């Protein structure tokens, strides 16, 4: 773009990171501009225009900024740079490479490149010269770590193109021209391995977006068994502080059966991101044996980083996910915490003196949230291949009260709800997902039910539904026992309660910090569920409730030992044998 | 504070509120310091030529023709080794009668550490208090508050933790500290012969509340100097962060911002996070650990201040008076150290995680038994044993007067398990039971 055409302006007002700019030409809503301050350029985004005043949110601290500072508008919205080399990177919320930045402290205006322009990639053509192509069609591929990274017709190309020239297999850098395309008017356009995309716009170059229908294994029993998430599904995890949102998300990010994981650390603790930086290069993907970091991109906008970039960070992460989905890959996108993003919106809306909605959040918060969640999904690409973005966000409700705008808006947008309960967390029943309040709407999808029947067991869905009833009845029994006393209820109540306790302790509870217990593949989950159902259907002989308590504690203890042992190992079977002996002790024959 | 000769003097204030005043001025930068009628103030808003200043000590008696001089810089602190052993007010001016500190002038509230330059915390801080070391182990680079009612001895416990932690420097940021508490800290530091390791920035209840807003940034700027430039292990004590947040709300209120929950500013989370996130472990050995106090009103942790704090810090410590044993204990239910899993079982004995959890679980069973008792139900034999266990556990491990090393804590825990329960009731991993369960002969 010709820099003479760019609109300029001058700063006239400053309230924290909201800056008011007098503009000398046209500006667009959400246009990016740079404010000159002491020789550095501070990046900002237009969020409101009033007459000749543009209100911009600065992605940096505005300390020292003075009125009359020069502003230059760039003629485009906030964009991501898409191309090979995104995986294994640690970016800030605006896709600047954190590892490339100099010094211990972040410096304002230190905007590093998203991709390495000098690295050579082994390119292999997929299409051939003369082919007709559209936006997002695959021209070729390079191997990025072990992922086949497709080089596509840029998403913003409109209409039909004929491939005039396509380079041969060989080594190329990302800005090398790899194809020349001719549009319908006969004009040639060159394509490199890099394209830009405005983060707030959804990439829609696919044929169809059906309802999700395939289980996405996470290795977390209370999710996979009880409230499954699906490829292309959306879920959210609200919970008071300390209830285990981050631990749960980290577990999912390590274990889930995804090709690529994008983690957006949005306004949360830096130490938690450091944990990923430290562990992911060491930990192995249980399925491929390759290091987790190879399939991961981390977008870190921690709570001490500029507030405005927090909002941008989730969009940056989503746009990167959409890019990889268009390659026919399974993406898992995690954001911790979407409440911080909503709070960033609130801070801005407050400074702009907009009419506040509930709890001083902006009025359009529900629309913003549902818009974002709607970008996830399972898609059929134009070439018939499939790709998916599964999105799971955490929500940090004020005071742990779920009746607040972010939780309520998210509940309308996401289809799986994993409510963490303070009470379960307090009693160390981790992961603290409340089994009764939580739900997965996907379990009601006939498409998914059919797959579960086919892949796991014919009666799987029935068993899962029944498990929910068992848990509810267990809870009711325990309430009765508490009200009426151990002696005040029939013995049967104790049995109902303790049988539900077995499911709770062995299926729902899972130690995220135990090497073995942390991750349970589906076949293991099925084995354990079957085992407990056997116990559930067994008739036992007891004289009094104390016997029931002591007995089931032993049963639970052994089942837990099985959880802690390598699946199908000698230890595992030894514990199982011991368990059977205990069961025989009291079994009514 | 000195003013410089060439600086322009303004004498026409156009608007005055309780905490702010506005005037027309040019060439002023955001967050710059100024002197209004001899009082320190900071730029919080610029609209064209109109500049709004927050006057830290309040605006009482400021006339519209008061002299206003701008400093051309944000608040700063002069840093050098000479800070050690000194006491300062919120502005970094000595209050101990000693000379001004010479050193490099640094902006306070500076930028944050690039997350990729941090190291994962992994160094245990031993306090001798089992309620902390066993159940809620602290590590360097962590940030954690005491959530305490105003009548609890949090300042005493914090001082004790500070003296036992092997820190190179201890920096006290006192906000709205009563004079008595201020003298208490001074006394503890002197008695421990630790004065040369200590730096204090203190705003007492006698000082204007808005001045407090500078205290944490002062303390943390000094901390960064020692942790980054000198690779030292720095422990920062911030007490009381509730009073800090109250000062934030006073200012935002005066600036007509729309309050969010509990009349706190909508930016409370970000404001607090900016401070707490200064806690860090550097690869070169330097670290900043923050232990704070957030006083509660009536134990309510859903109030915006503790709530936002809990979402930021890496756990929290609750103190509670255990009437059974008549001592203050570290409450094992509501207390949590999020970073403990980085050290327990690796830097400490392998059985630490499981023993810790099992003991807390049994303590929870005791709480249930107590409820039964209160509701007039009979106790089972197991219930009775949990009650006996809980009492001894509370006395020997949870009480804040305990001072032993972690291995001893584990030995005591196993002995209590053995005394009151069978291995199946405790439910520990079998290999640990085989190794540590005390076999009866
Ligand atoms: N599955 C688990 N197994 C064992 N411990 C757990 C588990 N989940 C959570 N915890 C414990 O709870 C602590 C808090 O968990 P986590 O940091 O995930 O909470 P959070 O909900 O993300 O809190 P915040 O909202 O403050 O970020 C952990 O540090 C850990 O001690
Ligand atoms: Mg968290």
Q: Does residue B392 belong to the interface with chain A, where contact is any CB pair within 8 Å?
A: no
**CATH no., domain A3-77:** 2.40.30.20
Query: Do A270 and B118 lie within an 8 Å CB cutoff?
Result: yes
Using the mean position of ligand 2's atoms as its centre, give its distance from the Cα of residue A241 in Å: 7
B395 to each of B135, B336, B381, how far by Cα in Å? 15, 20, 22
**Residue B441: per-residue pLDDT:** 47
User: Which chain B residue has its CA at the smallest distance from A513's CA?
Assistant: B341
Q: Which atom of ligand 1 is nearest to the CA of B313?
A: 26
Is the ipTM reported for this complex over the cut 0.90? yes
Q: What percent of chain B lies above the pLDDT cut of 90?
A: 82
Q: Does residue A50 belong to the interface with chain B, where contact is any CB pair within 8 Å?
A: no
Question: In 3-state terms, what secondary structure has residue A140?
Answer: strand
Show the tokens assigned to A66: 């003075």
Atom 8 in ligand 1: residue holding the nearest Cα: A244
Using the mean position of ligand 2's atoms as its centre, give its distance from the Cα of residue A340 in Å: 11
- Which of A238, A239, A244 has the most ligand 1 atoms within 8 A of CB, as the residue to mutate? A244
Cα separation, A153 vs A161, in Å, equals 9
The dihedral over CA atoms of A222, A227, A232, A237, expressed in degrees to the nearest 10, equals -70
- Which of A223, A239, A241, A247 has the most ligand 1 atoms within 8 A of CB, as the residue to mutate? A247
User: Which chain A residue has its CA at the smallest distance from B228's CA?
Assistant: A104
DSSP A388: E
Cα separation, A94 vs A574, in Å, equals 54
Model-level pTM? 0.94
Question: In 3-state terms, what secondary structure has residue A150?
Answer: strand
- Residue A456's Cβ-side half-sphere holds a number of Cα atoms within 13 Å equal to 28
Contact A381, A136 (CB under 8 A): yes
Where along chain A do its domains lie?
3-77, 116-194, 221-439, 460-586
B374 to each of A483, B370, B378, B437, how far by Cα in Å? 12, 6, 10, 33
Residue B1 has pLDDT above 50, yes or no: no
**Residue A381: per-residue pLDDT:** 97
CB A84 less than 6 A from any atom of ligand 1: no
Chain B residues 82-121 with CB within 8 Å of chain A: 107, 110-121
Which ligand has the nearest atom to the CA of B313? 1
Contact A16, A55 (CB under 8 A): no
Q: Which atom of ligand 1 is nearest to the CA of B338?
A: 29
Query: pLDDT tens, B261-296?
Result: 888 998 899 999 999 999 999 999 999 999 999 999
**CATH no., domain B9-70:** 2.40.30.20
Q: What are phi and psi of A394, to 5 degrees?
A: -100, 155
CA neighbor of B142 nearest in space, from B167, B176, B107: B167
CB A244 less than 6 A from any atom of ligand 1: yes
Q: Does residue A512 belong to the interface with chain B, where contact is any CB pair within 8 Å?
A: no
Query: Do A303 and B312 lie within an 8 Å CB cutoff?
Result: yes
CB A243 less than 6 A from any atom of ligand 1: yes
Q: How would residue B299 be classed by pLDDT, with cut points 50, 70 and 90?
A: confident
CB A241 less than 6 A from any atom of ligand 1: yes
Contact A386, A403 (CB under 8 A): no
Cα separation, B137 vs B387, in Å, equals 25
Cα separation, A588 vs A159, in Å, equals 74
Beta bridge partners of B40: B35
Query: Do A269 and B314 lie within an 8 Å CB cutoff?
Result: yes
The CATH class of the A221-439 domain is alpha beta
**SS3 of A23-90:** ECCCCCCCEEEEEEECCEEEEEEEEEEECCEEEEEECCCCCCCCCCCEEEEEEEECEEEECCCCCCCE
**Residue A303: per-residue pLDDT:** 93
CA neighbor of A372 nearest in space, from A311, A426, A427, A289: A311
Query: Do B116 and A340 lie within an 8 Å CB cutoff?
Result: no
Which ligand has the nearest atom to the CA of A240? 1
Using the mean position of ligand 2's atoms as its centre, give its distance from the Cα of residue A244 in Å: 7
Q: Does residue A399 belong to the interface with chain B, where contact is any CB pair within 8 Å?
A: yes
Query: pLDDT tens, A185-243?
Result: 999 999 999 999 999 999 999 999 999 999 999 999 999 999 999 999 999 999 999 99
Contact A159, A184 (CB under 8 A): yes
CA neighbor of B219 nearest in space, from B89, B31, B71: B89
Residue B31 has pLDDT above 60, yes or no: yes
The residue written with tokens 């919970």 in the block is A239
Cα separation, A421 vs A437, in Å, equals 9
Length of chain A: 589
Query: Do A271 and B48 lie within an 8 Å CB cutoff?
Result: no
Pick from A269, A353, A354, A513 the residue to mutate for testing the B interface (most B CBs within 10 Å). Answer: A269
- Residue A181's Cβ-side half-sphere holds a number of Cα atoms within 13 Å equal to 25
Cα separation, B33 vs B43, in Å, equals 6
**Residue B440: per-residue pLDDT:** 63
- Nearest by CB to residue B266, choosing from A90, A271, A350, is A350
- Nearest by CB to residue A105, choosing from B47, B114, B260, is B114
Residue B6 has pLDDT above 70, yes or no: no
Contact B71, B95 (CB under 8 A): no
Which H helix or E strand runs over A310? Answer: helix A307-325
Query: pLDDT tens, A484-526?
Result: 888 899 999 999 999 999 999 999 999 998 899 999 999 999 9
Query: Do A513 and B353 lie within an 8 Å CB cutoff?
Result: yes
Contact list, A563 vs chain B (CB under 8 Å): none
CB B338 less than 6 A from any atom of ligand 1: yes
Contact list, A548 vs chain B (CB under 8 Å): none
CB A212 less than 6 A from any atom of ligand 1: no
Query: Do B427 and A556 lie within an 8 Å CB cutoff?
Result: yes
Pick the CATH number of A460-586 from 3.50.50.60, 3.40.50.970, 1.20.1430.10, 1.10.1140.10: 1.10.1140.10
Cα separation, A139 vs A129, in Å, equals 10
**SS3 of chain B:** CCCCCCCCEECCEEEECCCEEEEECCCCCCCCEEEECCEEEEEEEEECCEEEEEECCCCCCCCCCCCEEECCCCCEEEECHHHCCCEECCCCCECCCCCCCCCEEEECCCCCECHHHCCCCCCEECCCCHHHHCCCCEECCCEEEEEECCCCCHHHHHHHHHHHCCCCEEEEEEEEECHHHHHHHHHHHHHCCCHHHEEEEEEECCCCHHHHHHHHHHHHHHHHHHHHHCCCEEEEEEECHHHHHHHHHHHHHHCCCCECHHHCECCHHHHHHHHHCCCEECCCCCEEEEEEEEECCCCCCCCHHHHHHHHHCCEEEEEEEECCCCEEEECCCCCEECCHHHCCCCCCCCCHHHHHHHHHHHHHHHHHHHHHHHCCCCCCHHHHHHHHHHHHHHHHHHECCCCCCHHHHHHHHHHHHHHHCCHHHHCCCHHHHHHHCCCCC
The residue written with tokens 């869905």 in the block is A461
CB A338 less than 6 A from any atom of ligand 1: no
Pick from A21, A89, A104 the residue to mutate for testing the B interface (most B CBs within 10 Å). Answer: A104
Contact A500, A474 (CB under 8 A): yes
Per-residue pLDDT of chain A in tens (589 residues, 90 and over written 9): 455 689 999 999 999 899 999 999 999 999 999 999 999 999 999 999 999 999 999 999 999 999 999 999 999 999 999 999 999 999 999 999 999 999 999 999 999 999 999 999 999 999 999 999 999 999 999 999 999 999 999 999 999 999 999 999 999 999 999 999 999 999 999 999 999 999 999 999 999 999 999 999 999 999 999 999 999 999 999 999 999 999 999 999 999 999 999 999 999 999 999 999 999 999 998 888 999 999 999 999 999 998 889 999 999 999 999 999 999 999 999 999 999 999 999 988 888 888 889 988 999 999 999 999 999 999 999 999 999 999 999 999 998 899 999 999 999 999 999 999 999 998 889 999 999 999 999 999 999 999 999 999 999 999 999 999 999 999 999 999 988 888 899 999 999 999 999 999 999 999 998 899 999 999 999 999 999 999 999 999 999 999 999 899 999 999 999 999 999 999 999 999 999 999 999 998 7
**Residue A3: per-residue pLDDT:** 55
Where along chain B do its domains lie?
9-70, 76-342, 352-436
The residue written with tokens 């303070």 in the block is A422
Using the mean position of ligand 2's atoms as its centre, give its distance from the Cα of residue B54 in Å: 34
Cα separation, B297 vs B281, in Å, equals 33
CA of B131 vs chain A CAs: smallest distance (Å): 16
Using the mean position of ligand 2's atoms as its centre, give its distance from the Cα of residue B262 in Å: 23
* DSSP string computed for A97-115: BGGGS-SSB--TT----SS
Interface A-B: count of C-beta contacts within 8 A: 203
CA of A17 vs chain B CAs: smallest distance (Å): 10
A24 to each of A14, A39, A50, A73, A74, how far by Cα in Å? 19, 22, 13, 10, 13
B76-342: CATH topology is Rossmann fold (3.40.50)
In this structure, the number of other CB atoms found within 10 A of the CB of residue A40 comes to: 14
CB A239 less than 6 A from any atom of ligand 1: yes
Chain A residues 54-113 with CB within 8 Å of chain B: 61-67, 90, 98-99, 101, 103-108
- Nearest by CB to residue A428, choosing from B282, B360, B425, is B360
Segment B86-110 mean pLDDT: 95
**Same fold? A3-77, A460-586:** no
Cα separation, A245 vs A336, in Å, equals 8
Q: Using only C-alpha atoms, what is the Rg of chain A?
A: 27
Segment B321-348 mean pLDDT: 93
Contact B228, B200 (CB under 8 A): no
CA of A510 vs chain B CAs: smallest distance (Å): 13
The CATH class of the A116-194 domain is mainly beta
Cα separation, A561 vs B163, in Å, equals 42
CB A140 less than 6 A from any atom of ligand 1: no
Using the mean position of ligand 2's atoms as its centre, give its distance from the Cα of residue A93 in Å: 18
**Residue A353: per-residue pLDDT:** 84
């Amino acid at each position: 773009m010709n820099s003479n055409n760019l609109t300029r302006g001058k700063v006239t007002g400053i309230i924290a990171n909201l800056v008011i700019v007098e503009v000398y030409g046209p500006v667009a809503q959400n246009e990016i501009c740079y404010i000159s301050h002491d020789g550095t350029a501070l990046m900002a985004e237009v969020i409101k225009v009033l007459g000749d005043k543009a209100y911009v949110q600065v992605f940096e601290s505005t300390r020292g900024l003075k009125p009359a500072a020069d502003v230059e508008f760039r003629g485009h919205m906030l964009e991501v740079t898409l191309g090979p080399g995104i995986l294994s990177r640690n970016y800030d919320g605006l896709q600047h490479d954190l590892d490339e930045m100099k010094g211990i402290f972040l410096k304002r205006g230190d905007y590093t490149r998203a991709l390495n322009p000098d690295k050579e990639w082994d390119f292999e053509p997929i299409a051939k010269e003369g082919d007709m192509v559209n936006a997002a069609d695959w021209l070729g591929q390079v191997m990025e770590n072990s992922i086949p990274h497709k080089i596509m017709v840029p998403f913003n190309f409109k209409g039909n193109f004929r491939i005039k020239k396509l380079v041969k297999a060989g080594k190329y850098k990302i800005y090398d021209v790899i194809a020349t395309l001719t549009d319908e008017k006969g004009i040639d356009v060159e394509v490199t391995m890099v394209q830009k995309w405005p983060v707030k716009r959804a990439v829609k170059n696919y044929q169809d977006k059906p309802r999700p229908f395939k289980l996405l294994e996470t290795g977390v029993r209370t999710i996979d068994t009880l409230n499954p998430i699906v490829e292309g599904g959306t879920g959210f995890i609200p919970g008071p502080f300390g209830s285990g949102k981050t631990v749960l998300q980290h577990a999912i990010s390590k274990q889930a059966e995804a090709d690529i994981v994008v983690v957006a650390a949005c306004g949360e603790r830096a130490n938690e991101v450091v944990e990923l930086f430290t562990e992911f290069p060491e930990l192995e993907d249980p399925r491929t044996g390759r290091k987790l970091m190879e399939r991961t991109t981390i977008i870190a906008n921690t709570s001490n980083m500029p507030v405005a970039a927090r909002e941008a960070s989730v969009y940056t992460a989503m746009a990167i996910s959409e890019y990889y989905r268009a390659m026919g890959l399974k993406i898992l996108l995690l954001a911790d915490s979407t409440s911080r993003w909503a709070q960033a919106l609130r801070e801005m809306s407050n400074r702009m003196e907009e009419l506040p909605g509930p709890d001083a959040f902006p009025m359009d918060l529900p629309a913003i949230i549902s818009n974002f969640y709607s970008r996830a999904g399972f898609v059929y690409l134009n070439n018939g291949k499939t790709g998916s973005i599964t999105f799971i966000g955490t929500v940090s409700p004020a005071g742990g009260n779920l009746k607040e705008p972010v939780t309520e808006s998210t509940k309308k947008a996401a289809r799986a709800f994993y409510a963490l309960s303070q009470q379960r967390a307090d009693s160390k029943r981790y992961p603290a997902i409340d089994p009764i309040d939580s739900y997965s709407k996907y379990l009601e999808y006939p498409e998914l039910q059919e797959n579960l029947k086919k892949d796991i067991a014919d009666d799987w869905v029935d068993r899962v539904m029944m498990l929910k009833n068992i848990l509810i009845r267990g809870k009711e029994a325990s309430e009765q026992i508490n009200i009426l006393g151990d002696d005040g209820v029939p013995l049967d109540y104790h049995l109902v309660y303790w049988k539900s306790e077995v499911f709770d302790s062995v299926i729902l509870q899972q130690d995220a910090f135990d090497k073995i217990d942390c991750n349970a593949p589906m076949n293991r989950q099925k084995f354990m569920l079957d085992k407990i159902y056997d116990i559930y259907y067994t008739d036992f002989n007891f004289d009094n409730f104390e016997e029931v308590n002591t007995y089931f504690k032993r049963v639970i203890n052994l089942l837990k030992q099985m959880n802690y042992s390598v699946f199908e190992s000698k230890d595992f079977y030894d514990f199982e044998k011991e368990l059977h002996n205990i069961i025989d002790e009291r079994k009514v024959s | 504070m000195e003013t410089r000769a060439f600086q322009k003097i303004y004498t026409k204030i156009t608007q005055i509120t309780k905490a702010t005043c506005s005037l027309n001025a040019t060439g002023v930068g955001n967050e710059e310091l100024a002197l209004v009628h001899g009082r320190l103030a900071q730029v919080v808003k610029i609209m064209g030529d109109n500049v709004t200043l927050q006057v830290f000590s309040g605006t009482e008696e400021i006339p519209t023709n008061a002299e206003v001089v701008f400093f051309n810089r944000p608040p700063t602190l002069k840093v050098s080794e000479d800070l050690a052993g000194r006491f300062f007010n919120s502005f970094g001016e000595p209050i101990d009668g000693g000379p001004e500190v010479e050193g490099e002038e640094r902006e306070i509230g500076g930028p944050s550490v690039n997350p990729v330059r941090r190291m994962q915390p992994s160094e245990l801080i031993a306090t001798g208090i089992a309620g902390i070391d066993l159940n809620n182990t602290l590590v360097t680079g962590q940030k954690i508050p005491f959530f305490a009612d105003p009548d609890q001895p949090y300042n005493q416990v914090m001082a004790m933790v500070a003296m036992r932690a092997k820190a190179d420097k201890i920096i006290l940021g006192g906000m709205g500290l009563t004079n008595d508490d201020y003298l208490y800290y001074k006394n503890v530091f002197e008695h421990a012969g630790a004065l040369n390791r200590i730096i204090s920035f203190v705003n007492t209840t006698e000082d204007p509340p808005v001045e407090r807003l500078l205290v944490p940034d002062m303390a943390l700027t000094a901390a960064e100097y020692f942790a980054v430039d000198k690779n030292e292990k720095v422990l920062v004590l911030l007490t009381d962060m509730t009073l800090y947040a109250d000062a934030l709300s006073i200012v935002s209120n005066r600036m007509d911002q729309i309050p969010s929950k509990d009349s706190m500013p909508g930016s409370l989370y970000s404001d607090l996070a900016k401070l707490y996130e200064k806690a860090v472990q550097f690869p070169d050995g330097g670290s900043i650990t923050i232990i704070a106090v957030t006083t509660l009103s009536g134990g309510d942790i859903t109030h915006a201040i503790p709530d936002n704090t809990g979402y930021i810090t890496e756990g929290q410590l609750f103190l509670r008076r255990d009437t059974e044993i008549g001592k203050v204990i570290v409450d094992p239910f509501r207390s949590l150290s999020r970073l403990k899993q980085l050290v327990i079982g690796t830097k400490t004995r392998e059985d630490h995680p499981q023993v810790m959890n099992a003991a807390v679980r049994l303590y929870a069973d005791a709480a249930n038994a107590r409820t039964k008792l209160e509701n007039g139900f009979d106790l089972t034999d197991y219930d009775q044993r949990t009650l006996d266990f809980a009492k001894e556990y509370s006395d020997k491990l949870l009480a804040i007067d305990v001072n032993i090393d972690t291995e001893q804590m584990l030995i005591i825990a196993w002995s209590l398990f053995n005394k009151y329960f069978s291995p199946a009731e405790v439910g520990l991993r079998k290999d640990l039971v085989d190794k540590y369960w005390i076999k009866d002969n």
